[in-house]
Amino acid sequence: MLKKDLLELCLLQLLSGGDKYGYEVLTPLRTAFPDTQESAIYALLRGLGREKLTTWYMAPGGGGPDRKYYKLTPAGQARLELLRAEEGSPALTDALAAMGVPYDDIAVYRTIYDNPRSLELREELEAGGFDYVTFTSASTVKGFVSAVGEDADFSRFTGLCIGKQTAGEAEKHHISVKTAGKAAIDALVELALER
């Protein structure tokens, strides 16, 4: 997971506890991410607003000037749920736990590693029958490797990966990779069309 994505998730989680003004958001994030500039956090807040995940309003600020309060929208609340594989990588959940950020980890799919066409797939791989294989998660890489056998020669094709974590799993199996510019299906499709 990219640091920006983790920051976004933490921002949304902070706002899920109620409306907060800028300093109330900034302080815990600067503690968790000391090398992050304030301007980057505010830029992320603006981006979340453009995506309709947050909104803001002005309110009196405890004897001083009015403060800008940020509020989570229903769309922002929906983004908080981690929709992952049943056996998803612990990288994200470990990072959230280390920062004390609560989350709902919802397993929405299971990668089935038993493939009735494994032999056919392996033969096609060994014959050089395809140039690219797309991977949408680390678990799909594991499933592919399991289906064709860990002893297969994975250097015969390029893995088109949705993100860095997926690419990292592919590289463990000596698969050359190209990674989408953004961890999204449309970016993966664009990558496939670049060929």
Same domain, yes or no, for 68 and 123? Answer: no
Q: Of 116, 180, 124, which is closest to residue 153 (Cα–Cα)?
A: 124
Tens digits of residue pLDDT in 43-71: 999 999 998 989 999 998 778 889 999 99
The mean predicted confidence, pLDDT, of the chain is 84
Same domain, yes or no, for 75 and 134? Answer: no
Residue 176: inside a domain, yes or no?
yes
Task: Give the dihedral of Cα atoms 27, 91, 81, 12; nearest 10 deg.
Answer: 20
In CATH, what number is assigned to the domain containing residue 190? 3.40.50.10090
| pLDDT value, residue 82 | 58
For residues 180 and 165, give the distance between their C-alpha atoms in angstroms, rounded to a whole number: 11
**95 or 177, which is more confident:** 177
* pTM of this structure: 0.55
Task: Give the dihedral of Cα atoms 162, 152, 127, 155; nearest 10 deg.
Answer: 50
Task: Find the helix packing angle between 3-16 and 38-50, rounded to 10°.
Answer: 70
| pLDDT value, residue 133 | 95
Domain-terminating residue out of 80, 109, 127 = 80
| Domains identified in the chain, total number | 2
Burial class (CB in 10 A: 0-12, 13-18, 19+), 62: exposed
pLDDT tier at 74, thresholds 50, 70, 90 = confident
Residue 46: inside a domain, yes or no?
yes
Q: How many helices (H) and strands (E) does the chain have?
A: 9, 8
Residue 128: inside a domain, yes or no?
yes
User: Domain of 145?
Assistant: 118-194
Tens digits of residue pLDDT in 146-174: 989 999 999 999 999 998 889 999 999 99
Q: Is the confidence at residue 1, as pLDDT, over 50? A: no
Residue 62: inside a domain, yes or no?
yes
